[in-house]
Amino acid sequence: MPNASMEEFEALLNESLEMDTPDEGTVVKGKVIAVEAGQAIIDVGYKMEGRVDLKEFANPGEDSGITVGDEVEVYLRAAENARGEAVISRDMARREEAWDRLEKAYADDARVEGAIFGRVKGGFTVDLGGAVAFLPGSQVDVRPVRDAGPLMGLKQPFQILKMDRRRGNIVVSRRAILEESRAEQRAEVIANLEEGQAVDGVVKNITEYGAFVDLGGVDGLLHVTDMAWRRVNHPSEILSIGETVKVQVIKINRETHRISLGMKQLQEDPWDLVAAKYPMSSVHTGRVTNITDYGAFVELEPGVEGLVHVSEMSWTKKNVHPGKIVSTSQEVEVMVLEIDQAKRRVSLGLKQTQRNPWEVFNEQFPPGTEVEGEVKNITEFGLFIGLEGDIDGMVHLSDLSWDERGEDAIQNYRKGDVVQAVVQDTDVEKERISLSIKALGGDKFAEAAGGIKRGSIVTVEVTAIEDGGIEVEHEGMKSFIRRSDLSRDRAEQRPERFSVGDKIDVRVTNVDMKSRRLGLSIKAREIAEEKEAVEQYGSSDSGASLGDILGAALNRDDE
């Protein structure tokens, strides 16, 4: 029945036309119908066949394993090329398939499996089962990796950090996976630790402030102050990387997973015996461990240190940096001045182990002793003289000279001059020594004036003629006779009637030991002589004149 056959043909044609043909740019299923010349010929249906290189079916370094009859998924790039074949790609199909899978994993924050297969600038390339991702160098491991060779080609999990399908960009991290597993491991280890527990650990890293110790998957910080009871300048003094040490868990912060460790806590505290071993005022030998601006730390024994304050370092060196007195590692003798058990402090003294130099000086050079020293300093109030025992004595302005004012006498001295002086007084408590230069050889004025009394007649020599009088000298004592005292007769009160070198008799009117001056007068001598003559010769001979009386007196003196 021809009509029936035509109807069937029409129905089949319509059915064929109504079938959905696959869209270009989609993944379709196909069947391998032949393998030849390194290619697989695939029937994707719809009267379409295409060719795909066998290498697109294989992983790097592996065989494709494709045989006739296998069903595969390929990407339809074009329905027909110039040769009438479909343009298909297994790589692109795998990529599309991988992107779908990776987008879902990214949305679920799930791990994906891949293998590092290449090195690029700033990191590595990772095959995620058809899609290529970028692995930044900083995301390879929790610590910088010097050689990534052992990681190449290994199937391992990665975390997707960022992806953009339109641009074809995927960024992954291996470090995030390691940190997550590490955090789980740390949580497990920390859960089994207790404060006060003693555990073994391995020193992983050493810094200036301490060391990090691996307790089996979790690190704890062993601070430098908890390594030993003694002062530790740097952790490397007692620890080395890779060393196994026994430590005590001091504190655990379960939120931050931070663990504080200690070593000295497992040792006996030397401070328990300090008070008994180092009584007050006892003297011990120690080693200088540290020097600061305010003093020096001295180790009496491992774990027990004391501070020698700068004020207790030297009797004589004031305001000097401790480093000028002692040096690090030097052994010194110190005296225990104070112990504060609560604050774990020992106050020590260095100078107390030596005798007070002012006491020693006072014993060796009592007042009145002559000493010699170098002029160390010149001030507005005197000279400082360096003496034995590295101490200074002071010569006040008033003790420089008998004859000159102190301000003038000090001009005769220079720094470095070696001078002699007499010890006047030593104040041990105030650490002061008073010296005198003018006292050398005794007090010449006092010696000379000792036999002279007020009213005495002495012979002086004229040394200078001035308008107001004359300057005279008697046994080294200088004095000045004013014009009004030059004569009883006003007409004779003329300084110019005298000459330098003249010797004249004068009457002593005053002896002033404080100002070291003699009061002299020719006038007073003449009046005294007249009074004496009147008393001796004028009492019975009332008619005699004064000239006769004086003449008689003088004649009697001549006889």
**What one-letter code names the amino acid at 469?**
G
Does the pLDDT of residue 17 top 50, yes or no? no
Within a domain: 549: no
Q: Taking residues 172-182, what's their average pLDDT? A: 82
Residue that terminates a domain, selected from 343, 367, 387: 343
Structure tokens at 195: 């404060």
Q: What are phi and psi of 113, to 5 degrees?
A: -100, 140
Residue 21 pLDDT? 58
Of 108, 134, 155, at which residue does a domain stop? 108
Per-residue pLDDT reduced to its tens digit, 242-263 = 888 888 888 888 777 788 898 8
Based on the fold, state whether residues 395 and 311 are members of the same structural domain.
Answer: no
- Per the domain annotation, does 185 fall within a domain? no
Verify that 373 and 399 share a domain, yes or no: yes
The pLDDT score that the predictor gives to residue 58 is 64
Regarding whether 469 and 523 lie in a shared domain, the answer is yes
Specify whether 85 is located in the same domain as 45: yes
Q: Which of 343, 367, 401 is the C-terminal boundary of a domain? A: 343
Taking only Cα atoms into account, the Rg of the chain, rounded to an integer number of angstroms, comes to 58
CA distance 289 to 332: 11
DSSP secondary structure code for residue 279 in this structure: -
* pLDDT tens profile 482-532: 888 888 888 888 888 888 888 888 888 877 666 567 778 888 888 888 887
What's the total number of domains in the chain? 6
pLDDT at residue 558, as a whole number: 47
Identify whether residues 218 and 284 lie together within a single domain: no
At 307-356, the pLDDT tens digits run 999 988 888 887 889 998 899 989 999 999 988 877 788 899 988 888 88
pLDDT for 543: 46
Instruction: Select the more confidently predicted residue: 286 or 83.
Output: 286
Q: By C-alpha distance, which of 163, 159, 155 is closest to 139?
A: 159
Q: Is residue 6 part of a domain?
A: no
Residue where the block lists tokens 């010449």: 444
Q: Which of 261, 108, 102, 150 is nearest to 196 (CA)?
A: 261
Q: Are 463 and 507 members of one domain?
A: yes
What does the DSSP assignment read for 111-173?
A: EEEEEEEEEETTEEEEE-SS-EEEEEGGGS-SS--S--GGGBT-EEEEEEEEEETTTTEEEEE
Pair (450, 532) in one structural domain? yes
pLDDT the model gives residue 297: 92
161-179 average pLDDT score:
84
Contacts of residue 104, Cβ cutoff 8 Å, sequence gap at least 6: 110
Which residue range forms the structural domain that includes residue 528?
A: 444-536
| Gap between the terminal Cα atoms of the chain | 211
- What pLDDT shows up at residue 513? 63
44-58, 172-186, 478-492, 534-548: range with lowest mean pLDDT: 534-548
Give the pLDDT score at 14.
56
Instruction: Please report the pLDDT score of residue 287 as a whole number.
Output: 92
What pLDDT does residue 90 have?
A: 65
pLDDT of 12 over the 70 cut: no
Q: Give the range among 79-83, 327-331, 456-460 with minimum mean pLDDT.
A: 79-83
In a domain, 29, yes or no: yes
CATH code, 381: 2.40.50.140
Residue 295 pLDDT = 92
User: Does one domain contain both 237 and 221?
Assistant: yes
Question: Are 450 and 524 members of one domain?
Answer: yes
Portion of the chain with pLDDT greater than 70, in percent: 80
Model confidence over 444-456: pLDDT tens digits? 555 555 567 777 7
pLDDT of the residue at 448: 55
Residue 151 lies in a domain: yes
Query: Residue 246 domain-assigned?
Result: yes
Residue 215 clears pLDDT 50, i.e. is over it: yes
Whole-number average pLDDT of the chain: 79
Angle at 320 between CA 317 and CA 323, to 5 degrees: 110
Residue 51, in any domain of the structure = yes
CA torsion, ordered 33, 37, 39, 40, to nearest 10 deg: 10
What per-residue confidence (pLDDT) applies to 348? Answer: 92
Residue 491 resides in a domain: yes
Do residues 425 and 451 both lie within one domain?
no
Lowest mean pLDDT among 81-85, 240-244, 290-294: 81-85
Q: Which residue has the higher pLDDT, 74 or 552?
A: 74
Q: How far is it, in rounded angstroms, from Cα 126 to Cα 139? A: 12
